[in-house]
Amino acid sequence: MNPETEYREGLDELASHYKEILSLLGEDPDREGLLKTPMRVAKAMQVLTRGYTMDAHQVLRQALFKEDYSQMVIVKDIDFFSLCEHHMIPFYGKAHVAYIPNGYITGLSKIARVVDIFSHRLQVQERMTLQIRQCIEETLHPLGVMVVIEARHMCMQMRGVEKQNSITTTSEFSGAFNQAKTRQEFMNLIHNNTTI
């Protein structure tokens, strides 16, 4: 979806609600600087929640390749931006994904796409981690999957609830990653900062 040209139904209604919100926040929505703000916010929010219109399972199913490779495949440092569902304020960071193929692999960019789809919804970090793991499991049926997400939560930082630099880490794993040795191999690989 091209965020500049394709918006979902309800855009005008969304904008009119944002105009109301500006008033409720104590602003004058009719002053020059704010005239186009409700529509801009409505469009931005539709882009930030575009994941609701996309099917992550479908993305992977359409890009399965039969392959005998059966070592760990790692896609690390996938940047993502999401909105916490409690405050609708961003949390953002990096996702790292590993899986051990069982006959099928997928395009590396498709893994990043799956992260993109689940992050463009209202989320909690824990559920997003789980959804990515399940999506890969249910489509690739690998020998194991592990997902690690490291994120900063603006809702905590801006409101002063947590130290400014704290990072929240979540992980989800299955299959071969139940072995501590395999998890450790993945963790070592994502945290060694070799530059290519």
In the bound state with Zn ion, the residue whose beta carbon lies nearer, of 70 and 170, is 170
CB 137 within 8 A of CB 174: yes
Mark whether 141 is an active-site residue: no
Mark whether 135 is an active-site residue: no
In the bound state with Zn ion, the residue whose beta carbon lies nearer, of 83 and 111, is 83
C-alpha dist (Å) from residue 88 to 27, 169, 185: 20, 20, 35
Catalytic residue among 67, 85, 126, 138: 85
Query: Rounded to the nearest 10 degrees, what angle do helices 37-48 and 11-24 cross at?
Result: 120
Shortest separation between residue 110's beta carbon and Zn ion, angstroms: 29
DSSP β-bridge partners for residue 104: 66
Catalytic residue among 58, 86, 138, 191: 86
* Binding residues vs Zn ion (CB under 5 A): 84, 86-87, 155
Query: Rounded to the nearest 10 degrees, what angle do helices 125-140 and 108-119 cross at?
Result: 140
Catalytic residue among 155, 157, 162, 185: 155
In the bound state with Zn ion, the residue whose beta carbon lies nearer, of 75 and 84, is 84
Shortest separation between residue 121's beta carbon and Zn ion, angstroms: 14
Shortest separation between residue 155's beta carbon and Zn ion, angstroms: 3
Mark whether 155 is an active-site residue: yes
Phi, psi of 91 (to 5 degrees): -125, 145
Residue with tokens 């499991």: 137
Mark whether 153 is an active-site residue: yes
Catalytically annotated residues: 84-87, 125, 153, 155
